[in-house]
Amino acid sequence: MKLKKKQRQEKLQEMIEETPFITDEELSNKFGVSIQTIRLDRLELSIPELRERIKHVAHKNWNEEVRALPIDEVIGEVVNLELDNLAISILDIKEEHVFSRNQIARGHHLFAQANSLAVAVINDELALTANVKIKFTRPVKVGERVVAKASVVGDDHNRTIVEVKSYVHDEVVFEGKFYMYRTTEN
């Protein structure tokens, strides 16, 4: 059953407030309307497009600046960062990230997102990946959004341990334990 415009717009606003990283395509599927209708609804409600919402949330959530590498060198869009604690980034899988024959993301893109996030979360001028244990748990396809979450979980022989889990929706698609060299002790 389709909602009337006013009801749809109210639900749309609620949904975006709860899940600011939801795409127009996902919203159009949920409401059973065209992507253009969703864009027009957002325009009427003065809700910015996804990229602007991501930047707004990131700016609001950042407590500190990345020290170990320039922010534009982090793979994906960093949306939360607390140095030596946690970091979150988002990577939308596009045609340039996948194998053309099966539309599955190349593993090095998922690894690069996780590895650069593990570097970014370190509160030091220099952080390098010394060792890593990774596991890909399912293929990621073109059009899917990968949310990587990095957490600093401890130290081991002068290495900071960062665990990264990457998700598509609520499903884990990549897990990694990164042993990070840093120039100063934590």
Same domain, residue pair 37 and 119:
no
Structure tokens at 42: 């957002």
Mean pLDDT, rounded, for 10-15: 91
CATH number of 35's domain:
1.10.10.10
55 has a pLDDT exceeding 70: no
Phi-psi region of 139 (alpha: psi -120 to 50; beta: other; left: phi over 0): beta
162 and 87 within one domain:
yes
Whether residues 43 and 68 share a domain: the answer is: no
For residue 114, the enclosing domain spans 64-182
Strands 145-155 and 77-82: unpaired
Residues 144 and 93 placed together within one structural domain of the fold: yes
Of 183, 158, 162, 168, whose CA–CA distance to 138 is shortest? 168
Read off the pLDDT of residues 59-118 as tens digits, 9 standing for 90 and up: 555 545 666 676 678 899 888 888 899 999 999 999 999 999 999 999 999 999 999 999
Same domain, 43 and 80: no
In a domain, 54, yes or no: no
Asked if residue 89 is part of any domain, the answer here is yes
Longest dimension (CA), the chain: 61
Please count the structural domains in the chain: 2
Q: What pLDDT, in 10s, does the model give residues 127-147?
A: 999 999 999 999 999 999 999
Residue ranges of alpha helices (H) inside the chain are 5-18, 24-31, 35-44, 50-61, 107-120
* Domain containing residue 68: CATH number: 3.10.129.10
